[in-house]
Amino acid sequence: MSNTPQSDIRPAMAAGLSAYLLWGLSPLFFQLVDFASALEIVMHRVIWAVPLLAGVLLVASKQREMFAVFRNRKALYTLILTAALISCNWWGFIYAVTNEQVLQASLGYYINPLMSVAVGVVVLREPLGSWRIAAIALATLGVLTLIIAGGTVPWLSLFLASSFTAYGYLRKTIEVDGRIGLFWETVFILPFAVIGLVWLHTQGGGHFFLGWREALLLFLGGGVTIVPLLFYIIGARGLRLSTMGVMQFTAPTLQFIIGVIGGEPFTTVHMITFGLIWSGVAAFTWSQVRRQLRPASAASE
């Protein structure tokens, strides 16, 4: 558990919850930017996130830590790889939102933590326990139901879940401040984003100069990138990881609600699929709560 005094937990709780609320409501923002392609939105997201993150790090006096990354070859190479993964994940999420597939995005982010548990067991040899076995089994059964009964493979959901799982696992292998890591990831993607946007505008396909509304929305993509992250970092520093693990389901739940209210198809097969996934989430959450309440027995859960 964090060493933060009990009286200081409420601000951390508010910050952590704010992060997941913003991530959960982010489809509403990206739906406003659907005049642009997912790739163009990602490129603007990168371009405007770089100076905003640089400002945050400057205010936090993190300049020395920023450049210390270049003295750690493993960290540098890992951040280059995670930059590719997070940019692909951003593209997949924005593509889902702007193409009326928010339910697929929601399903992907429900699956993600359960997939992370599976990776932890296989790669890191972490203890699993009966409740986590049930969680993974139920999630797998839910996906298989959609494939067999629904006749469709949720490629986008699996892409989002697997890319973010790989991203999370690799980021855990290096000790780099979340803000610094994201800054260098966006910096590494920046040349490709600039070249891509220049080419797009020369072909008459860019939207930044169409009007003040389009320019403002594309610029705000940078803030949508870093503000939830800053809240998340505050929350993670003051709360147990298990608490953050339970809170993370706030985001896909809000995305699910947005998708349903938005009129996306939600058949009986989808209902069964999400029901199984939610059962897996409930089993995972119960496992997290038990580990938090009885840390001494964590290995046997």
pLDDT in tens, 36-77: 999 999 999 999 999 999 999 999 999 899 999 999 999 999
C-beta atoms surrounding 228 within 10 Å: 20
Handedness of CA 232, 236, 238, 242 (dihedral sign): positive
pLDDT of 300 strictly over 50: no
CB 78 within 8 A of CB 174: yes
Mean pLDDT of 287-295: 71
Letter string b/e over residues 199-213, b meaning 16 or more CB atoms within 10 A of that residue's CB = ebeeeeebbbeeeee
**Which whole-number Å values give the CA distances from 261 to 140, 253, 255, in the listed order?**
26, 12, 10
Burial of 291 (0-12, 13-18, 19+ CB in 10 A): buried
Query: What was the pLDDT predicted at 8?
Result: 61
Higher pLDDT, 289 or 65: 65
CB 43 within 8 A of CB 51: no
pLDDT in tens, 86-104: 999 999 999 999 999 999 9
What share of the chain in percent tops pLDDT 70?
A: 93
Band the pLDDT of 83: cuts 50, 70, 90.
Answer: very high
Classified as helix, coil or strand, 263 is: coil
Higher pLDDT, 5 or 192: 192
Q: State the Rg of the chain over Cα.
A: 20
Here the tokens at position 144 are 């298989």
Distance (Å, whole) CA 111 – CA 104: 11
Residue 10, CA atoms < 13 Å, CB-side half-sphere = 1
Query: What was the pLDDT predicted at 26?
Result: 95
* Whole-number average pLDDT of the chain: 87
Strand runs (DSSP E) across 202-268, as ranges? none
pTM: 0.86
Mean pLDDT of 178-183: 90
Q: Which residue has the tokens 């855990």?
A: 172
Query: What was the pLDDT predicted at 288?
Result: 76
Query: What was the pLDDT predicted at 294?
Result: 65
